[in-house]
Structure 1
Amino acid sequence: MRALGGAAMSSSKWGGLAALLAGFFVLLLDTTIVAVASPSIQADLGGDVAALFWVTAGYLLAFSVPLLVAGRLGDLFDPKRVYLVGMAGFAVSSALCGLAPSIEWLIVFRVLQGLAAAAMSPQPLTLIRRLFAEDERGRAFGIWGSVAAAATLLGPILGGLLAASLDWRWIFWINVPLCGIAVVLGIRLIPGSRGGVARFDLLGAALSTAGLSLLVWALLSWSPLSLPAAVVAVVLLVGFYFRERAEGADALAPLQLYRSSGYLFASLAMASLGVTVLAMALPTMLYIQEARGFGPLEAAMVLAPDAVVAVLLSPPAGRWVDRAGGRRPAILGMSLLAASLLLMGLVVVLQLNPWWITGGAALLGAANAMAWSPLSAIAMASVDPDAAGGASGLFNTVRQVGAVAGVAMTGAILAGLPSRPVLAFGVVFGLILLVAAGGVVAAFRLPEKVSAVNPV
């Protein structure tokens, strides 16, 4: 009976992980799936380049800002419930995106999609911690990382296939049955809880939401109002910082977790990963398609080794984390990230054969495989279970705002040097290489052993 019970429990936790990954795959797929279909969207709905930009930027804005609130809601009302509500909202907003009659309505529905994604995003880290013992989490996070890498790169490929063979609206409609499957699996297989009893900090939520909204908007908009907005954002976020210090156990974002070197340096390294991976994608795709004449699908295939290598290496990387701890895999992963960016940057700046980028993409896939699992495992192992939702929200916020900053930095440089593309590409890759080097330093500062910190 004991053996049968153990087998049932093992099956249940891996089934729960599968349910989480089904939703997480759809969420990350929509971060990149729109890029290749953008010309088809513009041809059908009209709108200028700025409006087309906000089809993606609106999603990123709405995705990034509420992560802190969503993580705390998971602590209070059960991460399973918040995850499933977010998944249902994602399905509805995806259907609306496919029905959008104009570019303006598409932007509105993409914002709704981003809000639903934000509700979902912090919950898997909390639920994986609940499902798996410490000596199995590395493997679980490894599989989670492989799905993340595959979804991010499959987005442009799937978007190109759907836009070319059916219609651009199917890049959104395909989410509806996928979300339905994920909701059914989640109801059946993800364990629930009664949530917590702590008070929800409304003032902290207002300060963080307003501050992050202005900050992300300033990063994305590149308008004359960006600097004043950024200044106001900093003031609001400073106010949020002091509010959180005073709240103790009721804090929306448990900033005291940064007293743990594991959580602090895992967050810094993950932010570096978030900045560099998305900042690299735009100049690389522009170079391949505009300078070298590749088509959308052919260009996507140049980066395909990223997903292939990440999918193959992430599970064994997770098992390595379970055996040896996260520090050494994280150091290797962040070092491979810097090497991959150096190789791709040299190909672009020196205008070498673009197929050499596949080598850099393969290194990038290995970097993702080696970095995602240990950084996530170390961060969540540093957290008291009662604060897991808030810690996951904070960890995801740092990564996502880093990704937005990377996109904004790349866009600003390319827009500022339109007549000197080689110089622009060189500046972009030089800056993201510096950020990657910072991630390597953070990985070296990770502790060998991690102990949980109670943020009270």
Structure 2
Amino acid sequence: MANRWAGLAALLAGFFVILLDTTIVAVASPSIQSDLKPDVAGLFWVTAGYLLAFSVPLLVAGRLGDRYDPKRVFLIGMAGFAVASALCGMAPSVGWLVLFRVVQGLAAAAMAPQPLTLIRRLFVADERGRALGAWGSVAAAGALLGPVLGGLLTAVLEWRWIFWVNVPLCGVALLMGWRWIPRSQGRAAHLDLLGAVTSTAGLGVLVWVLLAWRDISAPAIAAAVAVAAALLVVFAFHERRMGPAALAPLGLYRSPGYRAASVAMAALGTAFIAMALPAMLYLQEVRGLGPMEAALVMAPDAVVAAVLSPTAGRWVDRVGPRRPATLGMALLAASLLLIGLVVVLEVNPWWMTLGAAVLGVANAVAWSPLSVAAMASVDAAAAGAASGMFSAVRQVAAVTGVAVTGAVLAGLASSPTLAFSVVFAVLAVVAIVGVVAATRLPLTPTDDAHAKAAAIAQEEEHA
């Protein structure tokens, strides 16, 4: 028992640092600009380079876990993340910092799909909800504590410590993971190279356009989108012909549980990640709060999620994923509407803590059942690929949400209150889509009639 939970702690430490680094840079950006003197584009790519490198290789990383042992891939990724973090802290110029951030993102991509696969291996079915509840609370804490920790380290020490703090965290997690995460032999099978190339190139171009569209001409955007679409269509057709050897077994989407969980998680990832920066910008640039004050306004999310997630996970183990996930997504929509009301009514910004607290409950309740439903809907042999696809959908949806909210804020820059009101309204609509998807989840986390039926159908199709 102790070893399994120690192994989970190692997985959570790794997941925490990769999400922490998604948001920690934003609050330190002025200090980085003052020290390294980058132009606006250079400063933008300090964050965007990480998101691009993190989002694109997730499909490949998930399948690598299947092939070569998820423990090995996770630990190699964590070691690479620690080295890249140390190099980020020593970067002599913004160009080097962007390069090291890209390496960080690649290491994060190697790590991100493995915890779901390993949690499935470490815990029996009636314990997975509690384990994945802890995973969800760490997800919330990592993204929300980024600005708090970034502001504190930048104020007390200097901006380089926002990267150096990762090194001891990764070191401890590496030792724990080496000792307590179980190993497997993997499966010595053909790696789908054409699928890897087309998916990586297609997603790479798509995510690049989403991140950098404001600096690209309209014809270039159209050409890039066409190239990305063509590559992803080739990828989809190729995957249909590959059968069980596919990089991304699209037959998994025949499972109603996996399909509904993926849509709901895309909505959760979009709303949760895309609201963090607008909330911070509104509190600081419109309402005049300092970085630490703004972070404290949103802190109830992480605190409430951390406290409630274990209880929420046990609830999922008892009643199955549908009811907790539906409640969680409904609370997510409610939290965004509450935050939007603070913006529209222009009341005291500290009222936003109420919306943040509801957001914390939503995160605690939603992450675990969506993950349980997704991973219970796949055969063990495809767990890594399924986890990679699940992570990729979440991350690309989050990047899309960041791009859309950025477009709204830029387009309505002359009326900040209207701009932020529209942002939170759009994200609330996305959350409502997630509510609808959550109602389609299975009532019980069956291990796995749906996945087995899909696998049989896929085998018959390729016989």
* Shorter-chain TM-score tier: over 0.9
Number of aligned residue pairs = 447
Match of 1:325 among 320, 323, 331: 320
Q: Deviations over 1:388-444 (max 9, x none)?
A: 000000000000001100111111111122212222222212221111110000011
Q: Deviations over 1:91-142 (max 9, x none)?
A: 1100110011111111111000000000000000000000000011001001
Which is further off, 429-438 or 58-67? 429-438
Q: State TM-score, norm by structure 2.
A: 0.95
Retained in 2: the 8 A contact 1:21–1:144? yes
Report what 1:417 is aligned to.
412
Q: State TM-score, norm by structure 1.
A: 0.97
Does 1:121 find its partner at 2:121?
A: no
Retained in 2: the 8 A contact 1:245–1:255? yes
Deviation at 1:231, TM superposition (A): 1.7
SS class of match (2:275): helix
Match of 2:192 among 193, 201, 209: 201
Match of 2:182 among 179, 188, 191: 191
Does 1:276 find its partner at 2:267?
A: no
Match of 1:16 among 7, 32, 45: 7
Report what 2:42 is aligned to.
51
Q: Deviations over 1:36-78 (max 9, x none)?
A: 1111011000112222111111100000000000000000000
Report what 1:228 is aligned to.
223
Report the AA paired with residue 417 of structure 1.
L
Deviation at 1:229, TM superposition (A): 1.0
Identity in percent:
70
Supply the distance in 2 between the matched residues of 1:171 and 1:144 (Cα, whole angstroms).
Answer: 22
Report what 1:215 is aligned to.
206
Deviation at 1:147, TM superposition (A): 1.4
Retained in 2: the 8 A contact 1:218–1:227? no
Retained in 1: the 8 A contact 2:320–2:442? no
SS class of match (1:135): helix
Retained in 1: the 8 A contact 2:136–2:364? yes
Retained in 2: the 8 A contact 1:142–1:314? yes
Report what 2:168 is aligned to.
177
Deviation at 1:197, TM superposition (A): 2.5
Report the AA paired with residue 448 of structure 1.
L
Supply the distance in 2 between the matched residues of 1:158 and 1:86 (Cα, whole angstroms).
Answer: 23
Report the AA paired with residue 277 of structure 2.
L
Deviation at 1:151, TM superposition (A): 1.5
Supply the distance in 2 between the matched residues of 1:50 and 1:346 (Cα, whole angstroms).
Answer: 33
Supply the distance in 2 between the matched residues of 1:153 and 1:203 (Cα, whole angstroms).
Answer: 38
Match of 1:242 among 237, 242, 260: 237
Supply the distance in 2 between the matched residues of 1:114 and 1:333 (Cα, whole angstroms).
Answer: 29
Report what 1:6 is aligned to.
none
Give the alignment of 1:409-448 within 5 angstroms: 409-448=404-443
Q: Deviations over 1:191-241 (max 9, x none)?
A: 000001321000000000000000000101012222321221111111100
Report what 1:160 is aligned to.
151
SS class of match (1:181): helix
Match of 2:33 among 34, 37, 42: 42
Structure 1 runs not aligned, ≥5 long? 1-9
Report the AA paired with residue 129 of structure 2.
G
Supply the distance in 2 between the matched residues of 1:41 and 1:115 (Cα, whole angstroms).
Answer: 22
Report the AA paired with residue 132 of structure 1.
F
Match of 1:314 among 294, 306, 309: 309
Does 1:253 find its partner at 2:244?
A: no
Retained in 1: the 8 A contact 2:247–2:385? yes
Retained in 1: the 8 A contact 2:144–2:276? no
Give the alignment of 1:55-94 within 5 angstroms: 55-94=46-85
Supply the distance in 2 between the matched residues of 1:60 and 1:271 (Cα, whole angstroms).
Answer: 16
Supply the distance in 1 between the matched residues of 2:13 and 2:416 (Cα, whole angstroms).
Answer: 39
SS class of match (2:188): coil
- RMSD (Å), alpha carbons: 1.0
Report the AA paired with residue 311 of structure 1.
A
Match of 2:351 among 328, 348, 356: 356
Structure 2 runs not aligned, ≥5 long? 459-463
